[in-house]
Amino acid sequence: MEAGLTCPNRDGTKGTGGCVYCNNASFTEGILYPGRPVEEQVRRTIASSGRLSAFRRLLVYFQPYTNSHAAPEELERLYLAAFCHPDVVGIVVGTRPDCLEPPVLDVLGAIARDRYVSVEIGLQSMSEDVLAGINRGHTVREFAEAVAAVRSRGIDTAAHLIYGLPGDTRENFVAAAGFLSGLGVQGVKLHHLHVVAGSGLEEPWRRGEVRVPGYAEYVDACADFLERLCPEVAVLRLMGTAPRGILLDPSWEKGSREMSRDVAAELARRGTWQGSLREEKR
């Protein structure tokens, strides 16, 4: 769903321009009724999506921009509006680690007392230098503190991580598996870097200054990551997508189903599995 919010990294609260990889149009392709009240979006989406008819327990996902970046009373109104349909049993809130102040957590915690709530928090990289270079506007420490704050309210958390950001390394990506496992997150969403028109990466990419990892490399990196991820953590996504009209690179012909199949096949080839190489903390 689209909540009509913006991002502190765009509206001047923390900065302008946003993260260099971001064009918000990348996240809105699946939203059927953007710009309409949340209640209308929920009802019309459920009514118009035949594929939902077999499911009687639905989660409303607030995805575009930063969905905890508003006054607490406004957030409460938006979140509760998602429960306008009897089949909706919970909400998933996509946000940043620096937009989860105690009053916002109070709102989420109150809703979580009798409904399901999950908060998805963008980490994107384990490198402070990379986070600064992509204009992310927060630190790894702030991410860890945000996860702890959300978990202290009994709310599930999931982390977003991108492979292939400029200046990042495979080692950093793989190391994040142990880091996230240690924080006790309930889920992870992995994304490969893609360059979209209108983002801060477009011009450097056109100049040949940005390298986008290939499909086979990303499959191998995902397998490395999963081998070190706690087996109790749900893998919610293995690849990101963007509308073809704005996607510049990469132009893979394979989608999320093929990615899941190929990563599973790579783990089977190695004789490993999720968590098989994880080092337990002592």
Q: What is the pLDDT along the chain (282 residues), one digit of tens a residue?
A: 889 898 988 888 887 788 899 886 665 666 778 889 999 999 998 888 665 556 678 999 998 889 999 999 999 999 999 999 999 999 999 999 999 999 999 999 999 999 999 999 999 999 999 999 999 989 999 999 999 999 999 999 999 999 999 999 999 999 999 999 999 999 999 999 999 999 999 999 999 999 999 999 999 999 999 999 999 999 999 998 888 889 999 999 899 999 999 999 999 999 999 999 998 654
CATH of the domain at 251: 3.80.30.30
In a domain, residue 10? The reply is no
Under 8 Å between Cβ of 157 and 121: yes
Query: What interhelical angle do 215-227 and 170-183 show, nearest 10?
Result: 30
In a domain, residue 280? The reply is no
pLDDT digits 0-9 by tens, 138-165: 999 999 999 999 999 999 999 999 999 9
pLDDT for res 282 = 42
In a domain, residue 235? The reply is yes
Give the SS3 label for residue 43: helix
In a domain, residue 19? The reply is no
In a domain, residue 7? The reply is no
pLDDT for res 28 = 60
For the chain, the domain total comes to 1
Q: How far apart are CA 200 and CA 77, in angstroms?
A: 33
**What are 133's two structure tokens?**
């270079």
| Best CA proximity match to 154, nearest among 189, 119, 121 | 119
Q: How far apart are CA 157 and CA 88, in angstroms?
A: 19
Question: What is residue 26's DSSP assignment?
Answer: G
pLDDT for res 183 = 97
In a domain, residue 4? The reply is no
Q: How far apart are CA 265 and CA 271, in angstroms?
A: 10
pLDDT for res 46 = 87
pLDDT for res 29 = 60
pLDDT digits 0-9 by tens, 98-133: 999 999 999 999 999 999 999 999 999 999 999 999
In a domain, residue 13? The reply is no
Q: How far apart are CA 192 and CA 182, in angstroms?
A: 23
The range of the structural domain enclosing residue 122 comes to: 24-270
In a domain, residue 155? The reply is yes
